[in-house]
Structure formats: C-alpha cells, structure tokens
A and B are shown apart, each in its own frame.
Chain A
C-alpha cells in the first residue's frame, strides 16, 4: 500500500535553515514532490525530484532523496517569516499520495 509520513511541526528562527523530512513506501514512485500551503490557500508546487536523482537544488531549496531508505527531505536555506506554512511531500504513480503535512513556524 501507499503511505507517506511526515513530522507534524517544526519551529526555526528567521535566518536559520529548515529541514523537513518525509518517508514514503511505494518504491515504484517515479517523481516525488514538495508542496506549500498557506492558510486558506491552495497548494503551491515548490519543487520535485525524479526518483533516479539523489539531490536537486533550486535557489534556497535543496531536495535530498535516499531511495534505499525511501526518505525525502526539503531544506530551506535562510528561512524567512514568509516561509511559515504547511509543507506536504507527495509521491506519484498517477495520482498523488500526500503526507499529512509539516507545519513550519518561523520565529522572528
């Protein structure tokens, strides 16, 4: 079966790095995604990684993938108060299967 797990909450200080972790179970997932959701808003696609890659960097975002352990992480460098939101990882074989989300709180 498919199951994606994330920790519920992360608090960091402005300017620090944030690392949000995710584990997934379906080894046939081709792509893995990170989405951001602000209060009352839809989901914003942040980045994605192809399953045969182990790292992808996009400006302040770095995605690391450990396919052997089925572990995905999102690192946000120089975290800002505007990064406060819920972050979802998702795996895809057709439709997306989402985790429950990690709420990131950025303290000024």
Chain B
C-alpha cells in the first residue's frame, strides 16, 4: 500500500509534555499538509510544505506547534508543552503540485492530553 501513513496512530500524554508525530506522504507527492480535527468538526488547516519549504501556516497555529520536512519526504509535527485543548485527531495529507491538487489523507494520529 503506497498511501499516506502516519505514526503513531494513538498518543496519550500528560499535560505539559512534548509530542512528535510523523507523516510519510505518497512517494511522488511534493506537497504535504497538516490538519487538525476535533469531534463534530471538519478538519482545520495547520500548515503545508512544498518539497522542504514550509509555504503557509495557519494564523491559528500556536507557537507551541512546529513542523518540519527536512528532505522533502516525510514530515514531523511537534507540539511542545501540550494542553488539554490540543486533544484532537491530527491528519496529514499529500498532493502533487498542479492539476487538480487532490489531497489524499492518512489515517490520522489521535492525541489525548490528560
């Protein structure tokens, strides 16, 4: 299966701890996106990369959040000093630049902050 993969699938952490999630996009896709989804809501955009360049960050994104895509392949999303409000599903998607920009999503990482 060459779809988008995310690791871990579930993470439980205590408030104040740092967490890091990983996303591996579809191999030929040069764009990678991070979204957050809370219960009963649609996904909310966080940030995206084209190759290794971070092109856009949501103005809603706290400075406790940082994302990297060092070699233009996989990406990591780190949340520092987690808060209970960070509990959500973190979704990664990838696409090709150009054409219809269809984004294909991974299964997500569910974060629970206790």
On A, residues with C-beta under 8 Å from B are: 4, 30-31, 33, 35, 41-45, 48, 50, 88, 90, 92, 94-101
Q: How large is the interface on B (under 10, 10 to 19, 20 to 34, 35 or more residues)?
A: 20 to 34
Identify the B interface with A (CB < 8 A): 33, 35, 40-45, 48, 55-56, 58, 91, 93, 100-108
Smallest Cβ distance from A50 to chain B, in angstroms? 7
A101 to nearest B CB, angstroms? 5
**B91 and A42 contact, CB distance less than 8 A:** yes
Tell me whether A31 and B101 are in contact in the complex, defined as CB-CB below 8 angstroms, given that A95-B48, A95-B56 are known contacts.
Answer: yes
B43 touches A31 (CB 8 A): no
Chain A residues with CB below 8 A from B101, complex form: 30-31, 92
Interface SS majority for chain A: strand
Which chain A positions have C-beta within 8 A of B41? Answer: 100-101
Q: List B contacts of A50 (CB < 8 A).
A: 100
A4, A31, A43: residue with the most chain B Cβ atoms closer than 10 Å: A43
Compute how far the CA of A97 lies from the CA of B56 in the bound complex, rounded to whole angstroms.
Answer: 14
Distance A94 CA – B58 CA, assembled complex (angstroms): 12
Judge whether B102 and A33 touch: CB under 8 Å. Answer: yes
| B100 partner residues in chain A, CB cutoff 8 A | 31, 48, 50
Name the A residues within 8 Å of B33 (CB-CB).
95-96
Give Cα distance in the complex from A95 to B58, angstroms. Answer: 10
Closest A residue to B110 using CB positions: A40
For B55, what are the chain A residues with a Cβ–Cβ distance below 8 Å? 94
